[in-house]
């Protein structure tokens, strides 16, 4: 790949080094031979169990080969349809099976949603994710409204993500045509532990939705939740499932359970934050080119624990006061943290 020499174009001092680094990063990303999809569960377990200093060192080494270590992508969520979901996901305040203090809200007006995205873009946010408490995407007027939202957000130059539940191939194609760049659908946990958390749909249905998303040429955002009472071997099982998807999900959200009153998991003991660090580092090593997102749960993590997550290879966060229905650190807190670490938000490269 060509390097930029001193005197090339109108480069500012330091700019050519930055461009060369970015080109190296891109060259690495395109080196798909370096990516493995045949990880064995024992290998994943061995990585997960590596002494922490060595694990973080290995994750950092991989991270620097594929990504800018001082950059973090900011992504904003909005709940476009809230509560009353027919699924029984034990962690979720939006399930109609439980009695969490969440106000039900029908599908929002597309122009209102696009307005929120516009404000986010003005604050430098590069990815916008619209979530709906649906088991599956409905047909008809509601789907048309979602398509209108996707078109409007896409026109702002952002990466556009949706998480709407199960999806058919035809719906995925229509979302792609409207400008959707990513679809979030989580495996949540290991296949073995899954049945203790959700009974209304099976693991294979999730895998089928992910396949429909891939087939339509939309990038995949797929991860899970830690701290639901699973064993470390279940966290390893989830990471093994994700790392053996081919291609790897481009985005891997690692959520720490937000314990919400009224849900069956409300009194789950708090997860050791170092388990988040281990899971993130393992995800980084297994899926080097993916964005690993430190997703829900940042409110419960100290700035030092969040810093360790970044050192372990997390390079994306949700920003804004709210996730879908639960609180998230505010913009001032996040800005202060990133500034104190000398980290910067990733600039937009939607498309
Ligand atoms: N209904 C759609 C679905 O489940 O695919 C989309 C919205 S759903 C709220 C998106 C994801 O949020 C879930 O897959 C789950 O991983 C995450 N989530 C929901 N409640 C959570 C909680 N209390 N703590 C952490 N993550 C949570
Ligand atoms: C993901 O993995 N985490 C986000 C996003 N994808 C949609 C959602 C977190 C939701 C946390 C609980 C809530 O705010 O309702
Ligand atoms: Fe419904 Fe999604 Fe919540 Fe499950 S996680 S109850 S599918 S909104």
* Mean pLDDT confidence for 5-9: 37
Beta strand residue intervals within the chain, DSSP E: 71-81, 127-132, 159-163, 182-184, 219-221, 224-226, 251-256, 291-294, 316-319, 344-345
The answer to whether residues 305 and 56 touch, using CB atoms and an 8 Å cutoff, is: no
Q: What was the pLDDT predicted at 15? A: 52
Q: How far is the CA of 151 from the centre of ligand 2 (A)?
A: 22
pLDDT over 50 (residue 351): no
222 has catalytic annotation: no
What pLDDT digit, counting tens, does each position of 71-111 carry?
999 999 999 999 999 999 999 999 999 999 999 999 999 99
Would you give the DSSP letter of residue 222? -
The answer to whether residues 243 and 273 touch, using CB atoms and an 8 Å cutoff, is: no
| Residue 81 CB less than 6 A away from ligand 1 | no
* Mean pLDDT confidence for 249-253: 98
What pLDDT digit, counting tens, does each position of 289-308 carry?
999 999 999 999 999 999 99
- Ligand 1 atom with minimal separation from the 326 CA: 23
Among 15-29, 61-75, 132-146, 335-349, the minimum mean pLDDT is found in 15-29
What pLDDT digit, counting tens, does each position of 190-203 carry?
999 999 999 999 99
Q: What was the pLDDT predicted at 130? A: 98
Extract the tokens encoding 274: 């170092």
Distance between CA atoms of 137 and 132, rounded to whole angstroms? 9
The answer to whether residues 129 and 78 touch, using CB atoms and an 8 Å cutoff, is: yes
162 has catalytic annotation: no
| Residue 260 CB less than 6 A away from ligand 3 | no
List the catalytic residue out of 174, 206, 293, 298: 293
Q: How far is the CA of 33 from the centre of ligand 1 (A)?
A: 33
* Mean pLDDT confidence for 38-64: 98
Q: What was the pLDDT predicted at 175? A: 98
Extract the tokens encoding 11: 């480069």
- pLDDT band, residue 11 (cuts 50/70/90): very low
* Mean pLDDT confidence for 103-128: 97
Q: How far is the CA of 296 from the centre of ligand 2 (A)?
A: 6
- Ligand 3 atom with minimal separation from the 163 CA: 2
Question: Among 82, 83, 295, 317, which residue has the most ligand 2 atoms within 8 Å of its CB, making it the best to mutate?
Answer: 295
Question: Among 92, 104, 166, which residue has the most ligand 3 atoms within 8 Å of its CB, making it the best to mutate?
Answer: 92
Q: What was the pLDDT predicted at 29? A: 52
pLDDT over 90 (residue 349): no
List the catalytic residue out of 75, 129, 162, 222: 129
CATH topology of domain 38-345: TIM Barrel (3.20.20)
pLDDT over 50 (residue 6): no
Q: How far is the CA of 15 from the centre of ligand 1 (A)?
A: 40
Q: How far is the CA of 343 from the centre of ligand 1 (A)?
A: 28
| Residue 186 CB less than 6 A away from ligand 2 | yes
129 has catalytic annotation: yes
| Residue 188 CB less than 6 A away from ligand 3 | no
| Residue 165 CB less than 6 A away from ligand 3 | yes
| Residue 284 CB less than 6 A away from ligand 1 | no
| Residue 253 CB less than 6 A away from ligand 1 | no
The answer to whether residues 190 and 238 touch, using CB atoms and an 8 Å cutoff, is: yes
User: Taking all residues of the chain, what is their mean pLDDT, rounded to a whole number?
Assistant: 92
Extract the tokens encoding 12: 């500012």
Residue 7, sorted as left (phi over 0), alpha (psi -120 to 50) or beta, turns out to be left
pTM over 0.75: yes
Extract the tokens encoding 332: 């001032």
List the catalytic residue out of 92, 162, 222, 309: 92
What pLDDT digit, counting tens, does each position of 312-343 carry?
999 999 999 999 999 999 999 999 999 999 99
75 has catalytic annotation: no
- Ligand 1 atom with minimal separation from the 185 CA: 5
Percentage of residues in the chain having pLDDT higher than 90: 88
309 has catalytic annotation: no
| Residue 90 CB less than 6 A away from ligand 3 | no
What pLDDT digit, counting tens, does each position of 265-294 carry?
999 999 999 999 999 999 999 999 999 999
Which own/partner pairs from 101-107 qualify as long-range (CB within 8 Å, at least 24 positions apart)?
Answer: 101/261, 101/262, 102/325, 105/79, 105/81, 106/81, 107/80, 107/81, 107/132, 107/142, 107/145, 107/146
Q: SS3 sequence, 153-176? A: HHCCCCEEEEECCECCHHHHHHHH
CB atoms within 10 A of CB 170: 11
Among 21-35, 71-85, 145-159, the minimum mean pLDDT is found in 21-35
């Amino acid at each position: 790949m060509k390097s930029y020499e001193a005197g090339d174009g109108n480069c500012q001092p330091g700019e050519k080094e930055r461009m060369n680094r970015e080109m190296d990063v891109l060259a690495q990303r395109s080196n798909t031979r370096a990516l493995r999809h045949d990880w064995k569960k024992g290998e994943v377990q061995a990585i997960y169990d590596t002494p922490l200093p060595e694990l973080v060192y290995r994750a950092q080494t991989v991270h620097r080969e594929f990504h800018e270590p001082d950059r973090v992508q900011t992504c904003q969520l909005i709940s476009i349809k809230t509560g009353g979901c027919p699924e029984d996901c034990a962690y979720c305040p939006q399930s109609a099976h439980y009695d969490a203090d969440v106000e039900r809200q029908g599908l929002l007006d597309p122009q209102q949603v696009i307005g929120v995205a516009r404000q986010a873009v003005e604050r430098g946010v590069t990815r916008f994710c619209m979530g709906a408490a649906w088991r599956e995407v409905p047909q008809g007027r509601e789907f048309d409204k979602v398509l209108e939202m996707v078109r409007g957000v896409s026109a702002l130059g952002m990466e556009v993500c949706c998480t709407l539940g199960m999806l058919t191939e035809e719906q995925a194609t229509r979302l792609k045509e409207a400008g959707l760049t990513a679809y979030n659908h989580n495996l949540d946990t290991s296949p073995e532990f899954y049945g203790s958390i959700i009974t209304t749909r099976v693991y294979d249905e999730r895998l089928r939705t992910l396949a429909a998303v891939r087939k339509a040429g939309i990038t995949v955002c797929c991860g899970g939740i830690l701290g639901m009472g699973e064993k470390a071997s279940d966290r390893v099982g989830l990471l093994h499932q994700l790392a053996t998807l081919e291609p790897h999900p481009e985005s891997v959200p690692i959520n720490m359970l937000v314990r919400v009153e009224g849900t069956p998991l409300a009194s789950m003991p708090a997860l050791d934050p170092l388990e988040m660090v281990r899971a993130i580092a393992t995800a980084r090593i297994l899926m080097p080119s993916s964005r690993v997102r430190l997703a829900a749960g940042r409110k419960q993590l100290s700035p030092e624990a969040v810093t360790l997550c970044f050192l372990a290879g997390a390079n994306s966060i949700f920003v804004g006061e709210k996730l879908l229905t639960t609180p998230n650190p505010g913009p001032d807190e996040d800005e202060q943290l990133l500034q104190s670490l000398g980290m910067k938000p990733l600039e937009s490269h939607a498309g």
